[in-house]
Structure 1
Amino acid sequence: MPTLLQQLLNFVSLSTVPREQLNWLIRHSKIRKFEAGDFVGVQGRKIDGPHFLMKGNISMFIYRGKEKQDLLTLETGDIFGYLPYSRSDIAPLNALALDQVEVLSFETLMVREMISLHFELTQSLVHIMNNRVKNYTTLQQQNDKMASLGKLAAGLAHELNNPTSALISDASALKAHLRADRLVNNSLTAEYWENVSIAEIDNRLIEIISAYQETELSYKARDQKENSITNWMDSNAIYYTEEMIEIFVDFNIGKDSLDFFKSRLPQKALEAVFERLSHTLVTEKIAHNIQVASSRISDLVRSVKIYTHMDRSQNRSYTDVHDGLDNTIRMLGHKIRAGKVHISRRYSEGIPPVNGYTGELNQVWTNLIDNAIDSMLENNQGLLTIETERERNNIKVSFTDDGPGIAKEIINNVFDPFFTTKPIGIGTGMGLENVRRIILRHGGSVKVNSVPGNTVFTVCIPIDNQQN
């Protein structure tokens, strides 16, 4: 059975540490044992250690809402927990024993003494901390990207649902309507068209269809128009249906148009012609609805391609800031509506494209807009103002929300890695850190000012920065 010292000497990261320092470490540590399924550490609790994994395997994971996300597995010889000069004393991850685990736990209160007395031991642990921060940050950034894509995919599913359902419904209605159309055509006998200028009738019909605009009438306005048409029909002894009256109102057919047809058609033809006209307009409206729904889907697909920067290389390119903002708003449309958030866009004219990484800048807009929406959720409504302007050789983009604001005690920490005010499993603390990192990569800056009811995140990026 190897001694604790022999076991520590097998740790790759401790191979250069003098034995007397390892013996000192052992004297101020204790062995802790865990069974499979035991929690060795819990996300959000105060962190202790450092801990030296002498035996077994530990799963490191986080919760996003109710979903568990595995990040990495620690094996015998790994070191975890609080390390010298660590900036955080709160555990960012859960640690779960996968089998029988033995951990040598150092007394956290002795870390200061270790730093002052044992240089090689301290240096080894600091090196581990640096690598851990890099690796975990990269891993967390990837997970955040996947989470953002998942969130956007869910929103996109909602956005696509309405136009897709409309297409299916309208296509079914069109099939049924075209079958009924054959019966209507059979009612228009040749005798109705004697001494009638068909070209004149067709031209009027084209005018009616061309002038169609989908408008929301008030109940009172629609009721008045319907009564006007039904009164005209009754006074002229013409049979009509509710569908006919509704579609005539939709296409703004009033007394003038009805009088036009009456003056150019024989009385015996009016009823059949109005029925035919009604069916034609219903077909036109269904076709219009299909076109609108198809255009909506096409716009969403275009937004997704632009947002995700598909069909482009990962090199710098000149990108339109306004397009990026608009596409991000479109991608978050479902969440914006669900949160009853109003977006006010105050874009300056003449903003030139910026030289940057389009996909990364879209991540910035997504994080800032998404955070603003979250901050206003408790009010069940809100106003987000997005403003752009040019300042010399820079573009400034500001995001102002009327949420509760950020407390003065924590506002200086919001861009720190792993810092979050959201509940455990909801926020990772990497969103704003990613914003800061991306903007710095573009040679720009990001800052925040906040009072209750007025929180402003301001991003400033050079128009033609070439640095990497």
Structure 2
Amino acid sequence: MNLLETLQQFPAFANVPDEQLQWVIDRADEESYPEETVLYKPNEPINHLILLLEGRVRIDGGVNGAADEILTYEPHSLLGLLPFSRMKSIPNRLISVTPIKVLKLHRDKLPELIHACYELTESMVHQMTTRVRDYTKLTQQNEKMASLGRLSAGLAHELNNPVAAVVRSADTLKVHMRATPEAFKAIMHLNLTDEQVDSVNTVFFKKVDQQRAVDARPLTLLERTSLEDEVTDWLDDNGVDDSMDLASPLVDYGFTVDDLDWILEKIGDENLVGVINWLVNNLVTEKLVSDISEASKRISTLTGSIKNYTHMDRGTGKQQIPLAEGLRSTLILLDHKVKSKHIQLNLTIADDLPPVCGWPGELNQVWTNLIDNAIDALPDGGKLDIVSQPDRRPDGSEFVVTKVIDNGSGIPEDIKDKIFEPFFTTKEIGKGTGLGLDIVQGIIKHHNGSIKLQSEPGHTEFSVCLPTE
């Protein structure tokens, strides 16, 4: 089969006259390459229209080879530069999967092709728009999956601690409850009046309630050590065995020597050992149950954040959105990254912040990308401020302005105008696709909003303005 017959097999050239195909053949170079030949490296200039005559070609990330595959081209495909395309390079690698044969037309010939071959140009422009649409959709999907992967990893990390705490406390509680029968025997041998029992119950529940209080101040290490020594000495002086083991739970709930003196006065020496052991037994049970409760609440908070973040229990239409909810949910899911870099995080949300009208799932992508990028840009111990406040314009229209501010090294002046371009990234290969800010800008435009950037060393600020109507 000659070259003309081969080009006639291209689906894109179904309506192209033979003389126009021959025009390309006369001006193009036929070349062959063995398998696994790198035709273009990432960001290498592309100067040819490539017609794939035989074999298969793939586009990959250039890091893990076939594992990074983005697209595969079969025989009779158009690659590289196309008429009217502004392409100068691609951020990925173009490599032959099998031995290939191609026809290459240099970019210098494209202006002449546009004037001489109308049908051919039309078919190639159609291919260009299809290629851009398919490639952008695929890469955006990969970016969304990568974001989902990062959030899933963070969620698993955050869930691991409370889940481990529940398991650990439940196992300890099971062991602890086996000692209850012995404690019950000791209690049954005590000779206590109803008034004495009530006094012990009173001090027990008073200490438990104080520990549960929101404003309860935790003891410093020095204060705790000093109080444990005092309680241990008191127990020893009053003939209570295992004083060191008993002192710690008592101190956990704020028992002091004065409290123990009060109990002793109420119950008498003969009942002291049994009552102290009963108190400690119940305090340990209370502590384990409290730990399980706190860990369970943390799990509930995390799952609630995922529910709020994805809005999986709501419709997909446009609705009134409380931005504070989305910001907090996003921060909970990214909390592991904040902690891992010891970042000082400040979230300031105005009390009178009005809701905005939009698609909650899309706006959460905005906060995820902006906050995740800010965290990546910060050094260990950096500072991240997130501020959301209402803004009323002179014409009476209302907006909500949300700012994501970091004190990192800033964005260089020469790339500020490029950061919202598709596929532009400052991250190393394999760490970013360059679609984050492009997606952000597209979503904000979809909401009739705007995004602005101010950056200098020590202060980078992304300001998102969204209408309330």
For the aligned pair, the TM-score class normalised by the smaller chain equals: over 0.9
Indicate yes or no: 2:138 matched with 1:139. yes
Aligned partner of 2:445 in structure 1 is 440
Indicate yes or no: 2:403 matched with 1:394. no
Indicate yes or no: 2:120 matched with 1:159. no
**Residue type at the aligned position of 2:349:** Y
Aligned partner of 2:395 in structure 1 is none
**Residue type at the aligned position of 1:185:** F
Q: Is the 8 A contact 1:319 1:354 kept in 2?
A: yes
Per the TM alignment, residue 197 of structure 1 is displaced from its structure 2 partner at its CA by: 2.5
Per the TM alignment, residue 88 of structure 1 is displaced from its structure 2 partner at its CA by: 3.7
State the alpha-carbon separation in 1 of the partners of residues 435 and 111 from structure 2: 29
Q: Is the 8 A contact 1:115 1:122 kept in 2?
A: yes
SS of residue matched to 2:259: helix
Q: How does 1:222-237 map to 2 (within 5 A)?
A: 222-237=224-239
Identity, in percent, stands at 36
Q: Is the 8 A contact 2:190 2:274 kept in 1?
A: no
SS of residue matched to 1:211: helix
Per the TM alignment, residue 113 of structure 1 is displaced from its structure 2 partner at its CA by: 4.4
State the alpha-carbon separation in 1 of the partners of residues 240 and 461 from structure 2: 64
Q: How does 1:138-287 map to 2 (within 5 A)?
A: 138-194=137-193, 196-213=195-212, 216-287=218-289
Aligned partner of 1:336 in structure 2 is 338
**Residue type at the aligned position of 2:219:** L
Per the TM alignment, residue 63 of structure 1 is displaced from its structure 2 partner at its CA by: 5.8
**Unaligned segments of structure 2, at least 5 residues:** 393-397
Q: Is the 8 A contact 1:196 1:265 kept in 2?
A: no
Candidates 411, 419, 429, aligned match of 2:424: 419
Candidates 327, 330, 349, aligned match of 2:329: 327
Aligned in 2, Cα 1:245/1:292: closer, same or farther, shift over 3 Å?
A: same
Aligned partner of 1:383 in structure 2 is 383
Aligned in 2, Cα 1:287/1:444: closer, same or farther, shift over 3 Å?
A: same
**Residue type at the aligned position of 1:68:** A
Q: How does 1:17-166 map to 2 (within 5 A)?
A: 17-62=16-61, 68-115=67-114, 118-166=117-165
1:304-342 Cα deviation digits (max 9, x unpaired): 111112122211122110110000000011111112222
SS of residue matched to 2:211: coil
State the alpha-carbon separation in 2 of the partners of residues 180 and 80 from structure 1: 76
Per the TM alignment, residue 93 of structure 1 is displaced from its structure 2 partner at its CA by: 3.0
State the alpha-carbon separation in 1 of the partners of residues 69 and 89 from structure 2: 19
Aligned in 2, Cα 1:215/1:57: closer, same or farther, shift over 3 Å?
A: farther
Aligned in 2, Cα 1:108/1:66: closer, same or farther, shift over 3 Å?
A: closer
1:370-429 Cα deviation digits (max 9, x unpaired): 0001111xx222111111111121111111111111111111111111111111221111
**Residue type at the aligned position of 1:251:** Y
**Residue type at the aligned position of 1:208:** K
State the alpha-carbon separation in 1 of the partners of residues 307 and 162 from structure 2: 19
TM-score w.r.t. length of structure 2:
0.93
Root mean square deviation, CA, Å = 2.1
**Unaligned segments of structure 1, at least 5 residues:** none
Further displaced range: 270-279 or 100-109: 100-109
State the alpha-carbon separation in 2 of the partners of residues 216 and 59 from structure 1: 60
**Residue type at the aligned position of 2:26:** R
**Residue type at the aligned position of 2:41:** V
SS of residue matched to 1:159: helix
TM-score w.r.t. length of structure 1:
0.93
Indicate yes or no: 2:371 matched with 1:372. no
1:177-206 Cα deviation digits (max 9, x unpaired): 000122122122344315753122212211
Aligned partner of 2:458 in structure 1 is 453
Per the TM alignment, residue 259 of structure 1 is displaced from its structure 2 partner at its CA by: 1.4
Q: Is the 8 A contact 1:64 1:426 kept in 2?
A: no
Aligned length: 461
State the alpha-carbon separation in 2 of the partners of residues 46 and 337 from structure 1: 41
State the alpha-carbon separation in 2 of the partners of residues 339 and 68 from structure 1: 30
Further displaced range: 448-457 or 83-92: 83-92
Aligned in 2, Cα 1:64/1:228: closer, same or farther, shift over 3 Å?
A: farther
State the alpha-carbon separation in 1 of the partners of residues 461 and 121 from structure 2: 41
Candidates 306, 309, 312, aligned match of 1:307: 309
SS of residue matched to 1:412: coil
